[in-house]
Structure 1
Amino acid sequence: MNRQRLNTLLTKNESIKLDFKERLSLKTEWEKKELAKDVSAIANSKGGRGYIIFGIEDKTKKVVGIEPVEYQEEQIQQIISQRCDPPVTIKFDTVDYDGKTVGVLTIYKSSQKPHQILQSGSFYLRRGSTTDIARREEIASMLQDSGLLQYETIPLYNIGVDQLNTGIIVKYLEKSGLKVEYERFESLYPLLEGLGILSREEDSGKYCPTIGGLLVFGYRPQLFLTHTGIKVINGKDNNKQYFYGDITSMLDEIEEYFKNLITHPEYPLAELSEAIANAAVHRDYFSYGREIVIYISSDYIEISNPGALYHRYDIYELLNENNPYRRNNWLYHRLLVLDEKKRFLKTGSSLKRIKNSFSRFGKVKFISNEERNLFKVILPGGFKTIC
């Protein structure tokens, strides 16, 4: 850390990745716990590396300094390692700033989220400029992003197998090259359990759908998972239309909706459909409070889905990635087999293909908002020009 970089950080406001503290004191157990809590919260929050800067007045950002040799990096690392699981990688520097010593604790971008505080068992993250306890769905989302939890295979014990469309299931099995011979559909349950479509409760032996099974093969998943539909808002008359059903059916219906709506002969409908399909397969399904929203304005079409980019990527990296990490890999592979329109079979970077296809209409914008856990694709062309 040098003075120039420190100057840049001091011009910024506190955020999910930046915290200012007036003092650095680690004399009591409470102070050590608070530091570990703040470090784990920054490590758990979305985005790149973060910083805690010591010797700065919180409100005014006036440089007051700390004692220059009071703490060493090894001591701080030990305090954090003993209280965080898995340990968080940090670096501690001191910078001379107008005759005063400023301490800069760098918290590196973590691929091992979520980090837990051992003494309390709690998980923390940043909300704006404050440290807060992570909610259940936020912890689950971090576990999924780290590959420790597969959302799609979570069982839905309170829902019966009769909520699944057996016709779609048989079609999937046949297209997968699996021999399907049965007198009673129930005889397929062990196979469907192995595929992650069903789950079996150990005590009762009763079968039930998994979340992924319901999303891909269910008659009406939104009756039970209300956040999984897609809403289209036409800004011209503020008309709202909701799409329900299994993922493939929703994508087919939305594609038909836009075919009837858009009259411009050269507008890239295939890439618009691809952007919507991406939202459906890559959204954060642990975010229960929001569905996918497609807004048609006078000048653009905005596709917004819960789920900022995974911790592994920024927008530029994803634009140039031909084999990206997928948040919902189980869903992706089932849809790959079922989707007769082959929306998921295209090679290369999907975002780059979408960006290039719209070049004659204007600039495509990709926005990943970590604080709101949202990803947006904004496509040029609204109801003024293409409808």
Structure 2
Amino acid sequence: MDDRDKWIESIVAAGEGYHIEFKESLDKSFVEEVCAFANSNGGKVFLGISDKGVIKGVQTDNSFRSRVPDSLRQLQPQLDVKIEVHDNFIVADVPEGSEEPYACSRGFFLRNGANSQKLNRNEIIAFFQKEGRIRFEELRNGKADFENDFDERAFRNFLKLAGITSSIDKMALLRNLDCVTDDGKLNNAGVLFFAKDIDFLLNHAIVVCVLYKGTKKVNILDKKDFKENIVENIDNAILFVKRHTNVEYKIEKIQREEIPDIPDIALREAIINAVCHRDYFDRGSNVLVEVFDDRVEISNPGGLPSGLKPSEFGSRSVARNPLIASLLHRIDYIEKVGTGINRIKQAVDENEKASVEFSFDGSFSVIFRKGDAISNVGLGEKLGEGSEKSSEKILEIIKHNPTITREEISEIINLSIRGVEWNLSKLKDEGKIKRIGSRKSGHWEVIESFNY
């Protein structure tokens, strides 16, 4: 038995599989199998072998041979399929296509195990999305009405940040920025950057920020849903985290040095990355920024973009939303596409107060862990001026202004919201103050029995 016979014997013995398909004759399903292999990882179609692995044979004369490539001309786009003619069978060697998805006259097909299946409408859409053939940012937004929804203020701010003169015609600029369709309607990128209300037009594109008490998702101390344009959402999310995390003041020179729990560069890059590279086709999730006592988690829908392997993470860049990335780059929110992850790692390494972890299983998450996790027991001392001193200041403030908010107290005494919350809780437990009414419309009261 020569090598060719051994090869055929091994193929027949193994049977059909993900990369092997047997066809007894050249029928209309032949091109469907080729289409499925092209959309998958390639494979071989054997003409002249039955499903059960019996070599039936086919004609191999010139007339029959020409019918094989002729039948493949219906593939769109065209694909170079190598045809190998043997004594009594023909092999179509199908490469993995580089221009997926491929279609034949009967639709789109994909390899599923040892079978080929025709894709339905939703599967076709999902496949196009996966391969980057449909980009959310470029799609026309059917809800957006340019006259009513376009935000001139956001547009002027963008032009200022990008260093673009406002003397140029507005619609011409928007077309050059790829934010409107040919007929002058806002696409999704235009809505994200220049709409007055993205909550109505793209309600899954808001950024949700939450502050928890402790280290678990149980007690919420503060929550904000940011619904402005993409630039303001980024800025507001960054401010939310900075307001609820701590800064250590180090004085070794004439000027004091501020050392935040999380390096500003790393925090900024992580939030921009979450907003820029999220999967906007996922309408069931938002970008989520969560602040705990011991960590900050920033997560977004969508794992690694199609075409980026886990082993390439951090060393190779594939933009899921290249138009959004380009627009953010114009205003210097992105320094250089593909450098964000390394900038986060470098900033954390230099800071030495935090560590960082990345997760991309279904969703993408950046987790900053604080070097010295702050427990509720010693929170007051850790926050800077000592528990007793902070409590005294808060008591004095409440005495003169009972309706003051936690946020206002935070600004007055330069203490994080979390620190204010801890001290207020401590004062209530000690019977020194009580809350009258709701958090929004109520007020504080210093208890008279307490010898203030």
Give the TM-score of the pair, scaled to structure 1. 0.64
Question: The residue matched to 2:225 in structure 1 has which SS?
Answer: strand
Distance verdict in 2 for CA 1:220–1:26, change over 3 Å? farther
Report how far residue 130 of structure 1 moved. Answer: 8.5
Task: State which of 229, 240, 245 in structure 2 corresponds to 1:257.
Answer: 240
1:286-336 CA-partner distances (Å, limit 9, x unpaired): 33443333456766725232363232x324434224xx4433232223223
Give, in whole Å, the separation in 2 of the partners of 1:113 and 1:254. 37
How many residue pairs get aligned? The number is: 322
Compared CA separation, residues 210 and 348, structure 1 to 2 (3 A): closer
Are residue 281 (structure 1) and residue 276 (structure 2) matched?
yes
Equivalent-residue separation in structure 1 for 2:17 and 2:345 (angstroms)? 36
Q: 1:331 aligns with which of 312, 324, 332?
A: 324
Identical-pair percentage = 16
Query: What's 1:353 paired with?
Result: 343
Q: Distance in 2 between matches of 1:65 and 1:188?
A: 66
1:292 paired to 2:279: no
Residue in 2 aligned with 1:377?
365
Deviation, structure 1 residue 209: 2.0
CA distance in structure 1 between the aligned counterparts of 2:306 and 2:162, rounded to whole angstroms = 29
Q: 1:353 to 1:227 in 2, by over 3 A?
A: same
Q: In 2, distance between residues paired with 1:68 and 1:355?
A: 59
Counterpart CA distance in 1 for 2:156 and 2:297 is 36
Residue by residue, what CA displacement relative to the aligned partner does 1:48-93 show, whole Å, maximum 9, x if unpaired? Answer: x477999xxxxxxxxx994589699x99x95994454235678999
CA distance in 2, matches of 1:247, 1:329: 15
Aligned to 1:247: 230
Give the whole-Å Cα distance in 1 for the aligned partners of 2:178 and 2:298: 33
Aligned counterpart, 1:304? 300
Q: Is the 8 A contact 2:289 2:296 kept in 1?
A: no
The Cα of 1:381 is off from its aligned counterpart by 1.6
Q: Distance in 2 between matches of 1:301 and 1:52?
A: 46
Q: Which runs of 5+ in 1 are unaligned?
A: 1-17, 43-48, 55-63, 94-102, 202-206
User: Cα deviations across residues 18-45 of structure 1 (Å, max 9, x unaligned)?
Assistant: 9659972342635425523532452xxx
SS in 2 for 1:209: coil
Q: Is the 8 A contact 1:216 1:335 kept in 2?
A: no
Query: Once the 2 structures are TM-superposed, how far is the Cα of residue 164 of structure 1 from its aligned partner?
Result: 1.7
Secondary structure in structure 2 of the residue aligned to 1:280: helix
Shift of the alpha carbon at 1:248? 0.8
Letter aligned with residue 166 of structure 2: V
Give 1:132-171 correspondences, 5 Å limit.
Answer: 132-133=119-120, 135=122, 137-142=125-130, 145=132, 151-156=136-141, 158-161=143-146, 162-171=148-157
Q: SS of 1:198's equivalent? A: coil
Long gaps (5+) in structure 2: 1-15, 85-90, 248-259, 375-417, 419-452
Q: 2:201 is matched with which residue?
A: 224
1:334 alignment partner AA: L
The alpha-carbon deviation at position 257 of structure 1 amounts to 1.4
* Cα pair 1:114 1:142 within 8 Å, conserved: no
C-alpha change, 1:198 and 1:380, in structure 2 (3 Å) is: closer
Using the size of structure 2 for normalisation, the TM-score is 0.56
Provide the aligned C-alpha RMSD in A. Answer: 4.7
Quote the offset at 1:277 in angstroms: 0.8
Query: Is the Cα–Cα contact under 8 Å of residues 123 and 134 in structure 1 kept in the other structure?
Result: no
Partner of 2:77 in structure 1?
Answer: 86
Alignment partners' CA distance in 2, 1:32 and 1:346 = 47
Work out the CA distance in 2 between the residues paired with 1:22 and 1:310: 25
Aligned mate of 2:266, from 265, 271, 274 = 271
Could you tell me how far apart the structure 1 residues matched to 2:187 and 2:163 are? 22
